[in-house]
Structure 1
Amino acid sequence: MDWSRALFQVIDLRSFSSLWYWMAVAVVWSSVSHYVLGVPYDMIQRARRHGGQAEQDLHDMVRVCVNRLLHISQAAGIIIIALLCFVLSSLAAMGFWYDAELAQAIFLLAFPMSIVGAVSLATARKIAETQPQGEALYAALNKHRLITQAIGMVAIFLTAMYGMYQNLDVVRGL
Structure 2
Amino acid sequence: MDWYSTVFEVIDMRSFSNLWFWILLAVFWSSTSHWVLGVPFDMVARARRSGGQAARDLEDLARINCNRVLFIVEESGLWLAAIVPAILVGLGLLGFWYRIELAQALFLLAFPMTFVGLLSIVSARRIRDGEGEGAALWRRLRIHRMLTQVIGMMSIFVTALWGMYQNLSAHVL
CA distance in 1, matches of 2:155, 2:129: 30
CA distance in 2, matches of 1:5, 1:50: 58
CA distance in 2, matches of 1:34, 1:10: 34
Letter paired with 1:24:
L
CA distance in 1, matches of 2:30, 2:97: 30
Gaps of 5+ in 1: none
- Determine the structure 1 residue equivalent to 2:79: 79
CA distance in 2, matches of 1:89, 1:43: 37
Structure 1 residue 47 displacement after superposition: 0.8
CA distance in 2, matches of 1:6, 1:58: 51
Structure 1 residue 63 displacement after superposition: 0.3
- Determine the structure 2 residue equivalent to 1:36: 36
Letter paired with 2:128:
A
Q: Which residues of 2 match residues 96-135 of structure 1 at below 5 A?
A: 96-135=96-135
Q: Which residues of 2 match residues 1-174 of structure 1 at below 5 A?
A: 7-173=7-173
1:23-43 residue CA offsets vs partner (Å, 9 max, x unmatched): 111111011000000000111
Q: 1:13 aligns to what SS in structure 2?
A: coil
1:60-106 residue CA offsets vs partner (Å, 9 max, x unmatched): 00000000000000000111121101100000011111111110110
Provide TM-score, normalisation by structure 2: 0.95
CA distance in 1, matches of 2:5, 2:69: 44
Structure 1 residue 131 displacement after superposition: 3.6
Provide TM-score, normalisation by structure 1: 0.94
Letter paired with 1:84:
V
RMSD value, Cα = 1.5
Aligned length: 173
Gaps of 5+ in 2: none
Q: 2:13 aligns to what SS in structure 1?
A: coil
CA distance in 2, matches of 1:25, 1:2: 32
User: Which 4+ residue blocks in structure 1 deviate beyond 4 angstroms?
Assistant: 1-6
Letter paired with 1:92:
G
Check conservation: 2:59, 2:132, Cα contact below 8 A. no
CA spacing shift, 1:141–1:6, aligned 2, 3 Å: same
Structure 1 residue 3 displacement after superposition: 6.2
Percent of counterpart pairs with the same letter?
53
Check conservation: 2:63, 2:132, Cα contact below 8 A. no
Letter paired with 1:72:
I
State which drifts further: 159-168 or 122-131: 122-131
CA distance in 2, matches of 1:123, 1:80: 18
Structure 1 residue 143 displacement after superposition: 0.2
Check conservation: 1:11, 1:20, Cα contact below 8 A. no
